[in-house]
Chains A and B, each alone.
Chain A
Amino acid sequence: MGIFFDLIIGGFAIGACYALVALSMVIIYKTSEVPNFAQGEMAMVATFVAFSMIQSYGIGFWTTAAITIVFSFLLGCALELAFLRPAKDPTVLGLIVITLGAEMILYGIAGWKWGANQNPFPVPFSEYSGIMVSGVMITEINIWTFVTSVIMMFLLFLFFRYTKVGVAMKAVQQNAFAARAMGIPTRRILTFTWGLSSVTGAVAGMLIAPIATLDPNMMLDPMMKGFAAAVLGGMTSLPGAAIGGYLLGLIENFFGGYVSLEFKSVVAFAVIVLILCVKPSGLFVKHYEKKV
């Protein structure tokens, strides 16, 4: 029974990280219908900036976290302005390729600036101790990751449901032309979306780095899994993507624990294929077709 609970805790812990990455992807997808493949590297660069502030300048963690959030917002906006805005009448495929290009550039910059080695990312909560439930340790970082992902999900839900900007973002996704006709500054909304998504990714990065160590490849696996989680839950549903993240974490852990460790990583991608075949819009999104 111990192993069962351990797998549940492990599943939720890593699932919360996937959920945050999935949320950050969904935010951009909701507005522009583009999966942003630079998401992982944006989070990684923001985490490296946080690391530098703590390590080189001795700034406290919470101050660093606040500055990093501002930085990541600006980074997201800057990337949108620098890479996507100049593209003339781009197709979705073209935009995807642009995000891949941005990913490579950020990866290269991180390697040049901080090197390719692993770094320990210090956090003010313990990675090894916490509370014991039924003989299973739930560490402080597990709790922080889980609570943070739930809070982020809730805040984003409120933002999209009850704020003007949030509603405008949804409008841009559903019909950019009509939104513009209604006076919504679609370009500014898109830039804001990238900033918001970057902030969510940066939070994920700062929670993943203490466990996975910080290096330019840090987000490679979480990013792919986060994408899988978003597909699983639904690329246009914030709660769906978050639940997809938790589900994927649980599926992976149980598969690794009870079936095969060799194929544990493959499960995420098998899930993508399966969901795309059975329910392309995701588990928590109603499938609808655009009418002319």
Chain B
Amino acid sequence: MRKVLWLTLCLSLCLMVSAGALMAAEKVRGVTDTEILVGQWGPQTGPAALWGAVARGTGVLFELVNSEGGIHGRKIKYFLRDDSYQPAKTKAIGKEFIEDIGVFAVVGGVGTSCGMAVRDDLMKNKVIWVAPSTGSTHWIDPFQKYLFAVYPLYIHEAYLLTQYATETMGKKKIAFFYQNDDYGKQGLEGAQKYAKEKGIKLVAEVPVEVTDTDLKSHALKMKEAGADAVILWILPKHAAIILGTSKAMGFSPQWISSTTLSDSELMFNITKGLWKDVVYANFLNQQSLDRLKKYMDATEKFAPQEKYRGIFFQAGFLFAEPFLEGLRRAGKDLNPDSFVKAMESIQRWNDWLGHDLTYSPTERQGMKSVYLAKCGDDGKPIKISDWLTYAGK
């Protein structure tokens, strides 16, 4: 009798342990039957605060999706954190996302250096990360299974802009004005790549520190080099200062800028009209009028207090769309691996604000094209090229 009792006890214990293990295996961090926890950092204060609008745009899109019933019965619980564009703060936010909140995914995230502060932690913990809001190569090199880049690479973008300046605009002396960090240096690398291939040299490569406000000597360097075109890879604030300072010095090259300064109406406003005729790259398809209208109506409904609704805010929609598509494709059985598989099935997808999104088991750079626009009267954008795709490797 005692033997039977012991046997029963042991069996029950085994069953309980196995059931517990099974339940633990099925529990996915940040996913319940009704919710998916998603985080994003973005500078709501500090010198890059304008770009922080991305994270607020994403929030509106999630609200819209939730109001339509969520995805496969799950609503998105969104956590927005301000890192002030300071990698040390981003690092702490990453820790909070992983250890305290336990998010399933991070969507967006402004700042190359900020992203680099948390990339390895996110990947080690199998946190899905879709669309870091910068065009750095760090997101795809080395290959990261759980990281899906959307933003076209700065290197390719700068290459295309330099190519356009040289071959289409006929500029002979191109200077490059860049922020002295990963963001700016990757743009510079793209311009140098094009110059090297064509056997030409950039006439000036001028760095600027994030905190600088006096850019007189920077402008002088480019003026002395005789630049007839200057490519900008900087903060909006620096763009406003350098255009004003240069004009005061009688230095008026063709200004060309990266996607990071693509809000032509805002730039026109803060430069007091000097932004007119600046050529810039963009990847947000502003021709998708119905889709944009729907999102902007949602903004009115869910974030009526939002003061800035320009292109960086709208980019927040774009960066979240691939994540939502991945959730739809992953189905009810959502975990990091099923999500990865779903994302890898996206091929030349165009049902969004971007262009030709493509992933595969070996490809993590989803979007590779930009188009060029010019700032018209009152800051109105004028599209001057079709989608341009970097053809090299």
Contact = CB atoms under 8 A, between A and B. Distances in A.
Given A118-B270, A128-B244, A212-B241, A261 B206 contact: yes
B140 to A, nearest CB: 28
B50 A116 contact: yes
Interface string A209-237: 00111011110111000000000000000
A257 B220 contact: yes
Nearest to B180: A262
A13 B45 contact: no
A11 B217 CA distance: 9
B44 interface: yes
A13 B219 CA distance: 15
A6 B249 contact: yes
A215 B235 CA distance: 13
A221 B213 contact: yes
Contacts of A215: 47, 49, 237
B217 A257 contact: yes
A141 to B, nearest CB: 8
A208 interface: yes
Contacts of B213: 208, 211-212, 218, 221-222
A273 B221 CA distance: 28
Contacts of B49: 111, 115-117, 215-217
A24 interface: no
Contacts of B44: 111, 116
Interface in B244-297: 244-245, 247-250, 266, 269-272
B244 A137 contact: no
A99 interface: no
B217 A10 contact: yes
Given A118-B236, A213-B241, A262-B207, A3 B216 contact: no
Interface size class of A (residues with CB under 8 A): 35 or more
A4 to B, nearest CB: 10
Contacts of A220: 47, 211
A7 B270 contact: no
A217 B46 contact: yes
Contact of A117 (B216, B218, B308): B308
Interface of B: 43-47, 49-50, 52, 180, 206-209, 211-214, 216-218, 220-221, 224, 236-237, 240-241, 244-245, 247-250, 266, 269-272, 307-308
Given A116-B45, A220-B47, 9 more contacts: A7-B217, A10-B217, A111-B44, A116-B44, A120-B271, A130-B248, A137-B249, A213-B240, A216-B45
22 contacts: A3-B220, A6-B249, A10-B220, A14-B214, A115-B307, A116-B43, A116-B45, A116-B46, A120-B240, A127-B247, A127-B248, A129-B248, A212-B237, A215-B47, A217-B47, A217-B49, A221-B213, A221-B214, A253-B216, A253-B217, A261-B218, A262-B207
Closest 8 CB pairs between A and B? A116-B49, A10-B216, A256-B217, A14-B214, A257-B217, A212-B213, A221-B213, A118-B270
